[in-house]
Amino acid sequence: MDIRVPSRFLVLLGLLAAPPALAALGEAEPSVARDAQALSMDRQPPSVRAGLAVHELRSATATVREYLAPDGTVVAVAWSGAAPPDLGLLLGAYAGEYRAAAAAPRAGRGPRHVETGRLVVDTWGHARALHGRAYLPSRLPAGVNLDDLR
């Protein structure tokens, strides 16, 4: 018996099975709301810090800040809380690059600095007080101080 499936049906099935697009480094502002939903966090009204729009997401145990350049692109993300957020979600297209660089052996404990050609991720803290930031150095506007990305 020959069963033929219309190609439109296959395309629709593929779209439904695909993971949702979420905000991440290098993506546009509307995706911040999707992050809030995916992380089960409340979105606060945006503010401005060092010339960047800051969209803060909060839960009872964590805070995530997404920094947007004047063109509306997420150029940095910072977090603090009891546990790290889903970095795969926040780093988006850069997640694989980060995982590969972070897999390299390192000496000692303490703050961690992972740098690739396009991405920098810093993490620090201790149990239930973890902090971190990820940013795209080439996309940060001039005059942004890294201490502002917390």
Beta strands 52-58; 47-49: pairing state: antiparallel
Q: Does 7 map to a domain?
A: no
Q: Does 124 map to a domain?
A: yes
Q: Does 108 map to a domain?
A: yes
How much is the pTM? 0.79
Quick: pLDDT tens for 55-82. Answer: 999 999 999 999 999 999 999 999 999 9
- Angle CA 30–33–38, to nearest 5: 130
Q: Does 32 map to a domain?
A: yes
- What distance in Å separates the CA atoms of residue 22 and residue 123, rounded to the nearest whole number? 22
Based on the structure, what is the number of domains in the chain?
Answer: 1
pLDDT digits (tens), the chain, 150 positions: 444 444 333 333 333 333 333 457 888 887 788 888 888 888 899 999 888 999 999 999 999 999 999 999 999 999 999 988 889 989 989 999 999 999 988 877 889 999 999 999 999 998 889 999 999 999 999 889 899 898
Q: Does 6 map to a domain?
A: no
Cα torsion angle, 56, 100, 111, 116, sign: negative
- Where in the sequence is the domain holding 25, given as residue range(s)? 19-138
Q: Does 148 map to a domain?
A: no
Q: Does 72 map to a domain?
A: yes
